[in-house]
Structures are given as structure tokens and as C-alpha cells.
Structure 1
Amino acid sequence: MGLFRVLFWIALIAAAFWLWRRFTRSRSTTSTSRPQAEPMVRCAHCHVHLPQHLALQQDDQWFCSQAHLEQARHDQ
């Protein structure tokens, strides 16, 4: 009878631990949302893709650096 009580308490503690881990893990994954993907643009000079917030815009063209922007101005 004593062995049955020990096994019962071990099973109960294991089930409680499993439930606690399951609920704490699911809450932490749902609270952290993935960041939104930024729009990417292509440099009109070298065709490198970069995030839009890092690019320089002139008219409807995007450039990866000030040098490429100036080269495009000189080529026109």
C-alpha cells in the first residue's frame, strides 16, 4: 500500500509540473510577436537590395548610398 501512495504522488507531481510548463510556455510564445518584415528596395545603380528605411530616394528610384545617387545624377 505504501508503494502505491508513493507512485500516486510522483504521478500527481509530474502531471502538475507538465501542466505548469505547458501553460507557461504557451503564454510566453503568444506574447512575443514576430516583427513585421520591412519593404525592400533595389539600388538603381548596383541592383543591391536593402531595407527601404536605409535607402535614398530620388524621384521613383532608390539608391544604396550617396555616391550611387550622385553617379546617377551625373549619368543623366
Structure 2
Amino acid sequence: MKYLVLFAVLAVAYLWWRNARLERKAAKPPPAQAAAPPGQPQDMVECPVCLVHLPRADALAGPDGSHYCSQEHRRAAGG
């Protein structure tokens, strides 16, 4: 009989502990991930060889003022 009472007390204690743990877990909101702010608009230029648009900061300037996407296209255009 005393083992039955001991088992009942242990079962109640376990259920109480599990319920409290689940309530704490549900009450704590997940950490909010801050979204990165959008970047600023950039001036876009077009490569005259392949017609790809790219940011002016990434383009290679040619001698005639044209902007190229790569060194190969700059050489192919004669610049």
C-alpha cells in the first residue's frame, strides 16, 4: 500500500513539474529576428556588349565613358 501512495505522489509531482515547464516555454516568446533594412537605391548602367544591367559601383568604366560588366567585355569593345 505504501508503494502505491509513493507512486501516486511521484506521478503528481512529475505532472506538476511538466505542466509548469510547458507553461514557461509557451509564455516565453521566441526571439524576434530583426530584418535587415533595405539597401539604398543604386544607379544602374548597361554593358554595351552583353546588355546586362549592373550597379555603377561594380561596373568598369571605359575610355569613352561606357560602363562594362567585365574586363573581357571592355577589351572586346576596344576600350
Larger Rg: 2
TM-score, normalization by structure 1:
0.47
